[in-house]
Amino acid sequence: MTRFSGMAVLKNALNGHKGWREQWPDSEPKKEYDVIIVGAGAHGLGAAYYLAQEHGITDVAVIDKGWLGGGNTGRNTTIIRSNYLYDESARMYDHALDLWEGLSQELNYNVMFSRRGVMMLAHNVHDVQSFQRHVHSNRLNGVDNRWLTPEEAKRFCPPLNISRDARYPVMGAALQMRAGTARHDAVAWGYARAAAARGVDIIQNCPVLAVRRGPDGAVEGVDTGKGFIRAKKVAISAAGHTSVVMQSADVRMPLESYPLQALVSEPVKPCFPCVVMSNAVHAYMSQSDKGELVIGSGTDQYVSYSQRGGLPLIEHTLAAICEVFPIFTRMRMLRKWGGIVDVTPDRSAIVGKTPVKGLYVNCGWGTGGFKATPGAAHTLAHTVARDEPHPINAPFTLERFTTGRLIDEAAAAAVAH
């Protein structure tokens, strides 16, 4: 692996960029691996990296039906925060946040983690109660989150409309200063490069058709577009398509897949310093380093695997943006796109073992998986390596939907991730 640094950039600038090498090879599958990870998003690639880096397991393949980072990793609005209500969630996302803070250096790849603060707006008494509960709970969990008055919120984000006459006036906001954004593609690429450097094979354009189980019920490997690949341990990290892959191993997942849309504006000079989320009016926004306003929309009302959503939802989202930030009405949408999110009944993820020996799963991150990337990857690697969950992902079991021990972030707060 060529080490990246300012000096390397300078050196290559002078020699016509002759010194750069491929960041990861496009591997062909071997017949057998110790571990196969299905899904080359940042979660799957990250898990491969941590397997190699922390557990010494390098005979690993990450397999994807398309190009790496092409699923939700490359389609989200890059928001990173950890101010979740429940202890289990707070620990998972705060663990991720700890890893985010050193990720560029750890991977030697600038993922542009930017602590610019995430502000969540309260628009009615119920929001206020709910967010204050978050602030109190976060404080006792050691998670950064504080309450702002409407005036303080406006000072933090000048384009905000705090008029009392607004249809949904801003009644306050919860601010996590440690939260922010990162460059989503770079996260996938950084993990891919670091994993490949440690011996991991990244196999793209190779659909996994089925998980194959042996006579004893344990995992034997996966059937793919490039033939059968043997492995005693298989981890599924396939976001919106997890339920389809798991079905092939006869495991029915409590997941529903929905299209979720996002969009960006044309780029403009810096005008929006932070991330703002307004759940009551369904608007999420930040400004990328390139200058585009990055805006998250909601999920369509119907389940679907089509990576495009309808027009009405985008209209509602932009109406909400114009309501909360009226100076942006003349800004133009440059492009919009969709991704498929996998949603569990309690809107929390499933990371851990399954009823099938040797089969592990990481899914159900819904609309909020990006922020969890290092945490999910790190704990999934631990689970696969040790065949038992890390204490942080231990509560995120599949069984909880049978026992009823839910981690119900959605119900608790009615806050989208």
Partner 1 sequence: MSTHRIAGKGRFDHGGPVRFTFDGKRYEGRRGDTIASALLAHGVHLMGRSFKYHRPRGPVCAGTEEPNALVETSRGKGRFEPNTRATAQELREGLEVRSQNRIGSLAFDLQAVNDLVHPLFSAGFYYKTFMWPRSFWDRVYEPVIRRAAGLGRAPDAPDPDRYAHRNLHTELLVIGAGPAGLAAALAAARAGAEVTLVDEHAEMGGALLSDPDVVIDGKPAWDWLAAALAELDRLGVRRLTRTTAIGYYHQNFVGLCQKLTDHLDEPPEGAPRERMWHVRAVRVILAQGALEKPLVFDGNDRPGVMLAGAAQTYLNRYGVLVGDTPAIVTSHDSAYHAAFDLADAGAKVAAIVDVRAAPGEGVLVEARRRGIEVLTSHTVTGTNGRLRVKSLRVAPVSGGRVGAARTIACDCVLMCGGWTPSLHLFSHTKGTLKWDEALDAFLPDRSAEECHIAGAGRGLWGYGAALADGAEIGVTAARALGLDAEAAAPVVERDRTGTGETFKELPTDGDAGRKRAFVDFQNDVTAKDIRLAVKEGMRSIEHVKRYTTNGMATDQGKMSNVNGLMIASDAVGKAPPQVGLTTFRPPYTPTTFGAFAGYHRGRHFEVTRRTPIDPWAEAHGAAFEPVSLWRRAWYFPKAGEDMDAAVARECAATRGSVGIFDASTLGKIEVQGPDAVEFMNRMYTNPWTKLGIGRARYGLLLGEDGYIRDDGVIGRLGEDLFHVTTTTGGAARVLNMMEDYIQTEWPDLKVWLTSTTEQWATVALNGPNARRVLEPLVEGQDLSAEAFPHMSVAECTVAGFPARLFRISFTGELGFEINVPARHGLALWEALMKEGERYDICPYGTETMHVLRAEKGFIIVGQDTDGTVTPDDAGLSWAIGKKKADFVGMRSLRRPDLVAEGRKQLVGLMTEDGDVKLDEGAQVVADPEQALPMKMIGHVTSSYYSAALGRHFAMALVEGGRDLEGRDVFVPTPEGIRRATVTTTAFYDPAGERLKV
Q: Enumerate residues 382-401 that contact partner 1 by CB under 8 A.
A: 400
Q: Is 318 in the site for partner 1 (CB under 8 A)?
A: yes
With CB under 8 A as the contact rule, the residue among 250, 327, 387, 391 that binds partner 1 is 327
Stretch that binds partner 1, among 50-58, 207-215, 259-267, 367-375 (CB under 8 A): 259-267
Residue span 91-110 as binding mask against partner 1, x where in contact by CB under 8 A, dash where not: x---------xx-xx--xxx
CB of 220 to partner 1, least distance (A): 30
Which parts of 196-255 interact with partner 1 (CB under 8 A)? 204
Question: Nearest CA to 301 among 336, 261, 245?
Answer: 261
- Closer to partner 1 at the Cβ: 180 or 221? 180
CB of 155 to partner 1, least distance (A): 16
CB of 296 to partner 1, least distance (A): 14
With CB under 8 A as the contact rule, the residue among 267, 305, 387, 388 that binds partner 1 is 267
- Closer to partner 1 at the Cβ: 179 or 208? 179
Stretch that binds partner 1, among 1-9, 49-57, 360-368, 380-388 (CB under 8 A): 1-9
Instruction: Compute the chain's Rg from CA coordinates.
Output: 21
8 A C-beta contact, residue 376 and residue 384: no
**What is the number of other CB atoms lying within 10 angstroms of the CB of residue 6?**
7
Measured distance CA(92)–CA(82) in Å, rounded:
8
State the amino acid at position 17 in one-letter form.
H
DSSP letter at 279?
A: T
Q: Is 134 in the site for partner 1 (CB under 8 A)?
A: yes
- Closer to partner 1 at the Cβ: 115 or 232? 115
- 256-265 β-sheet, strand order: 146-148, 172-176, 118-122, 275-278, 283-287, 293-299, 256-265
Number of residues that bind partner 1 (CB under 8 A): 117
8 A C-beta contact, residue 95 and residue 394: no
Q: Is 345 in the site for partner 1 (CB under 8 A)?
A: yes
With CB under 8 A as the contact rule, the residue among 30, 136, 155, 386 that binds partner 1 is 136
8 A C-beta contact, residue 340 and residue 239: yes
Instruction: Please give the structure tokens belonging to residue 142.
Output: 């050691």
8 A C-beta contact, residue 283 and residue 294: no
Stretch that binds partner 1, among 31-39, 209-217, 303-311, 369-377 (CB under 8 A): 303-311
**What is the number of other CB atoms lying within 10 angstroms of the CB of residue 390?**
19
Q: Is 289 in the site for partner 1 (CB under 8 A)?
A: yes
- Closer to partner 1 at the Cβ: 14 or 216? 14
- Closer to partner 1 at the Cβ: 141 or 379? 141
Which parts of 4-33 interact with partner 1 (CB under 8 A)? 4-6, 8-10, 12-14, 16-18, 20-26
8 A C-beta contact, residue 294 and residue 262: yes
Q: Is 59 in the site for partner 1 (CB under 8 A)?
A: no
Question: DSSP letters of 166-177?
Answer: SSS---EEEEET
Q: Is 155 in the site for partner 1 (CB under 8 A)?
A: no
8 A C-beta contact, residue 390 and residue 112: no
Q: Which residues touch 123 (CB under 8 Å, ≥6 apart)?
A: 168, 169, 170, 171, 278, 280, 281
8 A C-beta contact, residue 175 and residue 156: yes
